[in-house]
Homo-oligomer: A and B are copies of this chain.
Amino acid sequence: MQIDIQFTDHPIVAPKLDLPSREIGAAVEFHGIVREMENDRALTGLFYEAYEPMARRVLEKHFVELGALHGCVAVRFIHRTGWVPVCEASLYLSVVSSHRREALLFLADAIDRLKLDVPIWKRVV
């Protein structure tokens, strides 16, 4: 499993897809975007903080496990930190695999796990 984890305090630019083999049949990219309404309150954005060394370790563990479980080949994770305005992405996640089902399952599980125990926090400021 190729794993690339990045944190940035700049707007996320989706990287060019990288296909590590000629057996890649599916690439899925997910963009998590800041929405205006949260609990009936209109936001202008959210502020994200991460404890990066631990976030990297936990993410890497999850990605290794999920890559083995679903048979995926490479994952790229980018999380924006600091102020993220409404309509901009706080999260980018891409995964490549031989078949589409594996990549979609990986993605769904990876985002669930991200919310579970990865030290990244958002707050309304």
Binding site for B on A (CB under 8 A): 17, 19, 22-37, 86-87, 89, 98, 100-101, 104, 107-108, 111
Contacts and interface: CB of A to CB of B under 8 A. Distances in A.
Given A22-B35, A32-B100, A35-B98, 9 more contacts: A22-B86, A23-B36, A26-B31, A27-B31, A28-B28, A29-B29, A29-B31, A30-B100, A100-B111
Nearest to A19: B87
Contacts of A25: 32-35
Contacts of A87: 19, 22, 24
Interface SS, A side? mixed
Nearest to A30: B28
Contact of A104 (B27, B34, B104): B104
A90 to B, nearest CB: 10
